[in-house]
Structure 1
Amino acid sequence: MKKQQKKHVSKAENPQTRSSSTSVENSESIPADLIFEIFSRLTAKSLSRFRCLSKEWASIFSSRVFTHSFVARSCERPRLLFTFHVDGKLFSYSTPQPPRNPDQDLSHVVVDNHITIPTRMGSFLIHRPVRGLLCPGDMWFERGCNDSKMMTIFNPSTGQFKKLPAARTRRGHVRTYLGYDPIKEEYKVLCMSVRRRTYPKFSEEHQVLTLGTGKLSWRMIECSLKRYPEIGGICINGVLYYLAYQNDGFGVGQNFTVICFDVSSEKFKPLEINLTCSSSLINYKGKLGAIQFDQVGFFGGRTTSLGLMVLDDAEQHIWSKKTYVLPPFWKNLGVDAIARLNVVGMTGDSEIVFSPSILSDPFYIFYYDVERNTVVKVRVQGIDFVKNQYIYTFMDYAEDVKSM
């Protein structure tokens, strides 16, 4: 009797079938804008995995509207990025940038491990990210190498990378910078060869490559400012800034100036300023800022003061400057007097962020409040320890899911 009843049960009357059918109908009836909103709240790492599950999803993630919306939302929730290069692989970790409250002691943050990116490039220095992409900044090429004069652009959030064609240069040493034009919505790579082992030092063979234009190729551009460039460029509102020697780079204790490169017009312009080699360029609330110390070379436990210069008017070359006398905090924080710290940037709450240049265990970053003259150290947990490994720390990192 029970078997006979079961035989006459229809699919519509079967609770399990009805539930499954309802689920499918509900998923198909979700408005496209709601699906769009849900996806835009996920991480770039999650989206890179979901891209492989559905052609429709992959199409959504690749659309211009979605990628713009995702980057805009990522800029509103910036992250700290930690990355280093070991044995032909680029390792990267990130964590949401913690909201700093001077009245509360934030003791630690935990990082997420991004996708490890393989690379055939040797050891290289890394520039700060531009809208989620990383670019090597200083490269040497060996004679006779088939991959000579080639470089790669990385997206640490998605694990994607793009090999660029060989730069057109006769030299074995080049400097590269990555910029973004927000008007034309274009990434551009600026490359120049440098003469380092002979004097006078200068740059030559200036060229530009525009990403996302089909077949990639370098274009030679004119540059009358052939001053020897340093590592540490920063792109703010479509203008790329980098440090360069004031003269031929001969001698000790050289002074530096700042060169502006307009990413859209591809024109160079110098700024009238005199900086030391210990200076670091930062984004100060949408303006170019420069931090320099009383100790030439780098910021360390023996540094007693620092100066903050802000470019208020680029056309008139007007800068404002403040000097801060540091408290004797390093000894109390357990920082070695000879430890080398890099300037990561400055928060909107007037805190300068420092990070060690060498990975340690435990690993700390430091927040110096210039208004209160206090410092807080925050432990970063979750980074795989590699002894004596250089590590690069960046703030205001915004993830990007645009396909490379």
Structure 2
Amino acid sequence: MKRVKRSTNQDERIVNVSFTNLANDMIIEILMNLPPRSITRLHFASKQLPSIILDKKFIQWYMTRSLTQPRYLISLHRGGYMQMHHFQSLSQDHPYNHNMVSYEMEPNVLYEFTPPVRGLICGRDFTKMIVGNPSTGQFVLLPRVKTRRQDILPVFGYDPVNDVYKVLCMTVVLKRSHMSSNGNAVPWEDIVSEEHQVITLGAKEKWRMIECKYPHRHNSGCKGICKDGFMYYLATCDKKRSLMSFDLSFEEFNVTKLPEDQMLQQYGELVNHAGKITIAHQAYNRNVDLWVLEDASKEVWSKNFVVPPLSIDFFGRFCDLVSMGILGTGEMIFASRSSPSFFFVCFDPKSKKVREIVIHGMGGDSRDNIQIIFDHVESCMVLPKVC
């Protein structure tokens, strides 16, 4: 992936300013008020600034400030003769202010990205994987995953104990399959993870095989969540849907049973609700069921539900409102199945207040593939070359 275009603004003119006569405290104050892409350009243009920009304390200071300013991250893949991938970052408080960075993609490569973790994202196209900072426009290629299996799930996370980012990659083996007498495929049986590999984001790092004491199959299409040094994802363990966790520091797996609920065994997505791991499922009656993990060690769950606002208030007609996620503020995101993905509503279940969000300039091409990510935080981290 190579960078071909960046948006520009007045902040980037500071690239030509000399910092020689400024004290470090003044330099840090200036850098803290710059967007991440300008900081990255200064890193490569200056001989004096890399020691500050690469310092872990500065990166953490910048991250601490960014955590108070969550943003929407829109990932747009545009197909055609020249494939382009755009990342548009918008303030959740003022969505009309945005930054956009565009990239030319390799031919016939379509990366599927994991949810961002502290400003970074991980993308996969079969065994090819990248980690990138969409706020700076920098992406690095990871070594190819060593496997011949086709069903692969990457989960991206941050280990706060060792201050490193890691990617967990799982692949499955099919133990038994057969065809019925009429030639139709019979559902796979006894499918479990065969390979578990981890790589740490850093120079010259390689994939490492690790052990897992809990044979399980990750649920394809379900995104994982990283929280407090653990990766969480839904999987099938002992033929029941379960919540898997992976300790990023000790690199150990654990399993938590789900409540005995028939719908929960088939549906639901992981979300971070009020700082707790939650499975959100939208029932047939439009309500959104929230199963909240209260105590993982005791496998204690609580349940509540949210009634969405009436769609006629926004779309002028009755239609199904689909739950898209939950913001850190507790607001729930809904969109219509028939509306563009760049129009949605935020609903506060406590105050019952609703606000509409319209993202302009997106989705004008039928070949566009748009993904909206909530509570994204910008990082100024300059990524190390891995391979």
TM-score (norm 1): 0.77
Query: Unaligned stretches of 5+ in structure 2?
Result: 1-16, 175-186
Q: Which residue of 1 aligns with 2:177?
A: none
Give SS of 1:30's match.
coil
**Aligned residues of 2:308 and 2:321 also touching (Cα < 8 A):** no
Within 2, Cα distance between the matches of 1:31 and 1:71? 22
Describe the superposition over 1:45-81 as per-residue Cα deviations: whole angstroms up to 9, x where unpaired: 2222333332212332222222222122211212111
Within 2, Cα distance between the matches of 1:218 and 1:380? 39
Q: Which residue of 2 aligns with 1:125?
A: 112
Give SS of 2:379's match.
coil
State the AA in 2 paired with 1:218. Answer: W
Q: Which residue of 2 aligns with 1:3?
A: none
Alignment of 1:2-401 (within 5 A): 28-87=20-79, 88-98=83-93, 109-116=96-103, 118-119=105-106, 122-136=109-123, 139-140=125-126, 149-195=127-173, 198-212=188-202, 214-230=203-219, 231-246=222-237, 248=239, 256-274=241-259, 275-295=264-284, 304-327=286-309, 329-334=310-315, 341=322, 343-348=324-329, 350-354=330-334, 360=340, 363-383=342-362, 385-387=364-366, 389-401=368-380
Give SS of 1:154's match.
strand
State the AA in 1 paired with 2:301. Answer: W
Q: Report the alpha carbon displacement of residue 85 of structure 1 after superposing the two structures with TM.
A: 2.5
State the AA in 1 paired with 2:311. Answer: W
Within 1, Cα distance between the matches of 2:353 and 2:367? 29
Q: Which residue of 2 aligns with 1:402?
A: 381
**Aligned residues of 1:359 and 1:390 also touching (Cα < 8 A):** no
State the AA in 2 paired with 1:182. Answer: P
Within 2, Cα distance between the matches of 1:120 and 1:29? 47
Describe the superposition over 1:276-331 as per-residue Cα deviations: whole angstroms up to 9, x where unpaired: 44412122232212211113xxxxxxx5211122222221222222122334x113
Give the 3 Å change call, closer, same or farther, for CA 223–310 of structure 1 in structure 2. Answer: same
If asked which structure has higher relative contact order (CA below 8 Å, sep 6+), I would say 2
**Aligned residues of 1:280 and 1:291 also touching (Cα < 8 A):** yes
**Aligned residues of 1:355 and 1:393 also touching (Cα < 8 A):** no
Within 1, Cα distance between the matches of 2:376 and 2:66? 8
Within 2, Cα distance between the matches of 1:326 and 1:355? 11
Within 1, Cα distance between the matches of 2:163 and 2:336? 34
**Aligned residues of 1:282 and 1:346 also touching (Cα < 8 A):** no
TM-score (norm 2): 0.80
Q: Report the alpha carbon displacement of residue 154 of structure 1 after superposing the two structures with TM.
A: 1.8
Q: Report the alpha carbon displacement of residue 232 of structure 1 after superposing the two structures with TM.
A: 0.8
Query: Unaligned stretches of 5+ in structure 1?
Result: 1-23, 100-107, 141-148, 249-254, 296-302
Within 1, Cα distance between the matches of 2:368 and 2:265? 26
Q: Report the alpha carbon displacement of residue 270 of structure 1 after superposing the two structures with TM.
A: 1.1
State the AA in 2 paired with 1:331. Answer: I
Within 2, Cα distance between the matches of 1:356 and 1:39? 41
Within 2, Cα distance between the matches of 1:343 and 1:195? 32
Within 2, Cα distance between the matches of 1:54 and 1:115? 24
Two-structure CA RMSD over aligned residues (Å): 2.8
State the AA in 1 paired with 2:255. Answer: P
**Aligned length in residues:** 346
State the AA in 2 paired with 1:71. Answer: M
Which has the larger displacement, 352-361 or 165-174?
Answer: 352-361
